[in-house]
Amino acid sequence: MAKIKLPKPRLSTIPANPFKRALAFLIDMLILDLVVFFPFRFLITRAFPDITITSLNSLVSNPDLTGLFSTIAVSMGIMAILYFSLLEYRIGQTIGKMILRISVESEVKTGSYWQYLLRSIFLIPIFPLMILFIADIAYMFFNQKRQRLLEVISKTRTTEKIEEGWT
């Protein structure tokens, strides 16, 4: 009996599903929490042993403690940015994106590290950038290509590959 040689399905690149993107982000944040942020918990509990709502008022009124807390928060944000930007620049994916089979690519021929750094800037926990986080995500739902605002600015996109038809 003769073997029938069927053509292979064609791979198409499409914008990544927003649900997959959100789940990948949650997986990455869990990894960051376990690996990177965990050591900072020791610093926070040491600096603020009995943190309650009333002690938060004293934290805000004490510039030294506010400065320490801000330094810790910004340091954690920088670590998160490095996690996302280095992995996306080097291999096109974070661990969460690998699990969900989505990836990040540059829209220009040779992507630069600065593109991947810019797309992750919302992770720095300072006031204007926290508002940017909300606007960044909201923009994705009003954009035909399903790109976040920082993806449009950085000329990057998050995609997934699907098999369709026969070549």
pLDDT in tens, 133-154: 889 889 998 988 889 999 999 9
- CA 81 centroid distance within chain: 8
Give the start-to-end residue ranges of the domains of the chain: 9-49+59-166
pTM for this predicted structure: 0.81
Tell me the per-residue pLDDT of 61-115, one tens digit each, with 9 for 90 and over.
777 767 777 888 888 889 999 999 999 999 999 999 999 999 999 999 888 999 9
Residue 145: what are its φ and ψ, rounded to 5°? Answer: -85, 0
